[in-house]
Amino acid sequence: MKNLESMEQFVQLRDGGKTIFMFSADWCPDCRIIEPILPEIEDKFSEFTFIHVDRDQFIELCQQLDVYGIPSFIAFGNGKELGRFVSKDRKTQEEIEGFINGLK
C-alpha cells in the first residue's frame, strides 16, 4: 500500500478513479494488527487503489473528512464518496471486506 505524500496527491487520487484511503498512525495498535491482512485485501479488490494516510501527517484532512478514530477507511469513486468505515474500533478482515463489498 502506497503512502499519501501530499494534499495535491489526495485530490488527484480522490478524483481519478476508485480509491480507498486507509487512515492510520504508527502508534495505533489496532492499525498494526490489520497490517498483515491488507495485502490480501488489496489483491481481492484490485479495482481499487489503496492508499495509506498517516493521521498525524494529515490531521487537517482527517478533520475535513470527520475521521476521528483509526483505523478507518473512506472510499471514493471519481471524486464522489462511495462509503466510509470510520470508527475507533478494531476491525477484522471480514468487516473490512464486507465494507468494500458493500461499495459495489
Catalytic status, residue 28:
yes
Catalytic status, residue 62:
no
Query: Among candidates 48, 43, 46, 40, which has minimal Cα distance to 73?
Result: 48
Domains contained in the chain, CATH given: 2-101 (3.40.30.10)
> Residues 29-71: pLDDT tens digits?
999 999 999 999 999 999 999 999 999 999 999 999 999 899 9
Task: State the catalytic residue, choosing from 4, 20, 22, 28.
Answer: 28
> Residues 77-93: pLDDT tens digits?
999 999 999 887 889 99
For residue 104, what pLDDT is reported? Answer: 66
Task: State the catalytic residue, choosing from 4, 13, 20, 31.
Answer: 31
Task: Give burial (CB, 10 Å; 0-12/13-18/19+) of 76.
Answer: buried
